[in-house]
Chain A
Amino acid sequence: MAVASDALAGHPGDAALPGASAEADLVRRVRLGLEIATRAITIIGPDGFRDEDEPEGSFGPDKLAAESAMLLYVANAVRQHPDIATGIERVAGLLAPGVRSERTRIAIALNPAICLQLSMPHVLLSRIDDGDRQFDRLVELSAGAIARDGNEVVPHRTLERLWLESVRTGVAREDDIRRAASASVLSHPVDLIWGSREDAYAHTHALMYVTDFGYAARSLPRAPSDILRESEALLARALLLDDYDLAAELLMAWPLTSSPWSGASSFGMRVLAELEDEVGFLPAKNGTPEKFHQLSGTERTRYALAASYHTAYVWAMVCAMSLRPGLAPPARIPGPRADTHDIDELLGAIPRADTPWQRTFDGLGAAQQQRLGSFLLDMALLTNARKHDYAAVARLLGVAFERGLADGPLCAQAAELLQRVAASADGAETRRD
């Protein structure tokens, strides 16, 4: 592993690296994301990606354009790094013609209820290039149309619209943003054990929009520490499921709220950094779909990029956010130090597997591993609850309470789960007495 990448990797000796190394490491990762964007826009940008065999994996050019513009918007905050500035200019130049194409103009003219989403690439790109006044006029007309609110959306989507409107006009409707945030999952916990992927996305996206991707410091409907403890539990679940796209989105929570990195989140950064270094880019869970092996030539390249660009973008965004002053992940894992015996007990409740998070954990020194008691407890509870080993969950809750580790949202949700399951079953069959 290169010296620079050590900034996010394990250090058995517990030695902290100087900040300059961490910065260079993060710059390198953002630059890689921009290189992948260059390639994705060049190769699949004009038409998007169509797969007759896997229609759910198909997408139009709008999705890639919007996500590329989002990457530029985030990276632009740290363009004082020459390599990043060069990459931004290159990607913006490639993106602009498609973003303001005849096709997009017509779509905006015809669909006022979703015109903000359709114009997102243009709106974000206008922060970087010279913009397009004629295009602005079209968006203004569509956004002011009678039918502009005709597409009813859930709270985090309302936040997305309010965010886009604020970037477009330069004026944030603070009361509306506060109301939408209060109606979103930022105001109440998601189901950490069996909640859907969409639920987790609502959690991550609401935070991105309410903070304007880190450009705005707003108060949240709950204490940031409460929200971040849920982000930690969802991060453990994403790592358990090898879902690196979601894991990267969850890691944004710390820089977005300008919060100090926790043990779990700084560990999560190391897992993803080491995986990127090993593979060459941060893979999605579908990293090498079976179909990839059956393709050749241009089709093979297009398929690989379509399956992979998104996760690489999200990871580059996290790294760019972490490059803002004072937000770089620490060289050493922070947090209270658990007893070695407790760590071993928690590890004993998690099946051994050759997964990226377990490899990164194994590479840490004992003192670093001991900072991850809370993370291992979340991982043990999730592993056992999801395979319905409720006896193990009950045992873990007892251990957690004894050791003073039970004050986390996942512990509380696991306890409630067991109570509900006990109430749902036939007492005569399941009661010991």
Chain B
Amino acid sequence: MAERRAAQVLSHEEIVKVFLGTGAVDFAALGRFVAEYGESIAISGRGDYGVRIGWYNILACFKIAGGIVRPNELLESGIANEVLGR
């Protein structure tokens, strides 16, 4: 509890400063370690695409698919005509 209280009074900048003062850690190796073993854990339970739509869950979004939005492809697809009725 004491540690938790101490953490709460530190500013964001002080938290960064404490971290920068903690000494030499090979973060490149840590990244490889986590990427190899941790990805499935990080993605399976939580993540950006865990969509839950309830019939009374207002303002819940439609399914969000992967990939990136490409305006050119959207224009060529004709979806704007369908949405706008023009």
Q: Which one, A281, A416, A431, contacts B15 given CB within 8 A?
A: A416
Q: Which one, B19, B49, B68, B86, contacts A355 given CB within 8 A?
A: B68
Query: Is B31 a contact partner of A388 (Cβ separation < 8 A)?
Result: yes
Least CB distance, A433 to chain B, in whole angstroms = 6
Q: Mark B23-57, 1 if CB is under 8 A from A, else 0.
A: 01111111111110011001000111111110111
Report A408-433 residues with CB < 8 Å from chain B CB.
408-409, 411-412, 415-416, 418-419, 421-422, 425, 429-433
Query: Is B19 a contact partner of A418 (Cβ separation < 8 A)?
Result: yes
Query: Is B19 a contact partner of A419 (Cβ separation < 8 A)?
Result: yes
Query: Is A117 a contact partner of B58 (Cβ separation < 8 A)?
Result: yes
- Pair count A-B, CB < 8 A: 217
Task: Find the B residue at minimum CB distance from A204.
Answer: B59
What CA separation (Å) do A275 and B80 show in the bound complex?
12
B9 at the interface (CB under 8 A from A): no
Q: Which one, B16, B42, B64, contacts A412 given CB within 8 A?
A: B16
- List of A residues within 8 angstroms of B46 by Cβ: 194-196
Given contact pairs A279-B75, A288-B74, A431-B26, A246 touches B82 in the complex (Cβ within 8 A): no
Query: Is A305 a contact partner of B61 (Cβ separation < 8 A)?
Result: no
Least CB distance, A72 to chain B, in whole angstroms = 14
Query: Is A429 a contact partner of B63 (Cβ separation < 8 A)?
Result: no
What CA separation (Å) do A29 and B13 show in the bound complex?
39
- List of A residues within 8 angstroms of B19 by Cβ: 397, 415-416, 418-419
Least CB distance, A134 to chain B, in whole angstroms = 22
Given contact pairs A244-B69, A388-B31, A401 touches B17 in the complex (Cβ within 8 A): yes
Report A8-25 residues with CB < 8 Å from chain B CB.
none
Q: Which one, A194, A283, A305, contacts B42 given CB within 8 A?
A: A194
Query: Is B69 a contact partner of A63 (Cβ separation < 8 A)?
Result: no
How many residues of B are in contact with the other chain, CB < 8 A?
A: 60
Report A175-232 residues with CB < 8 Å from chain B CB.
194-198, 201, 205
Report A286-306 residues with CB < 8 Å from chain B CB.
286-289, 292-293, 300-301, 304-306
Given contact pairs A397-B19, A429-B29, A281 touches B80 in the complex (Cβ within 8 A): yes
Query: Is A388 a contact partner of B26 (Cβ separation < 8 A)?
Result: no
A56 at the interface (CB under 8 A from B): yes
Task: Find the A residue at minimum CB distance from B55.
Answer: A60
Query: Is B69 a contact partner of A285 (Cβ separation < 8 A)?
Result: yes
Query: Is A57 a contact partner of B62 (Cβ separation < 8 A)?
Result: yes
Q: Which one, A54, A409, A425, contacts B12 given CB within 8 A?
A: A409
- List of B residues within 8 angstroms of A249 by Cβ: 59
A: residues with CB less than 8 A from B are 35-36, 39, 54, 56-57, 59-60, 62-63, 66-67, 70, 114, 117-118, 120, 160, 194-198, 201, 205, 237, 241-246, 249, 275, 278-281, 283-289, 292-293, 300-301, 304-312, 314, 353-356, 387-391, 393-394, 397-398, 400-401, 406-409, 411-412, 415-416, 418-419, 421-422, 425, 429-433
B: residues with CB less than 8 A from A are 11-13, 15-20, 22, 24-35, 38-39, 42, 46-53, 55-65, 67-71, 73-75, 77, 79-80, 82-86
Q: List 17 A-B contacts (CB under 8 A).
A: A63-B53, A63-B57, A196-B48, A201-B59, A249-B59, A284-B61, A286-B64, A300-B82, A306-B62, A310-B61, A390-B28, A391-B31, A400-B16, A416-B19, A419-B19, A422-B30, A425-B30
Contacts A196-B48, A280-B84 aside, 12 further interface pairs with beta carbons under 8 A come to A36-B84, A70-B58, A197-B47, A280-B83, A285-B65, A287-B79, A293-B77, A309-B83, A406-B17, A419-B19, A422-B22, A431-B25
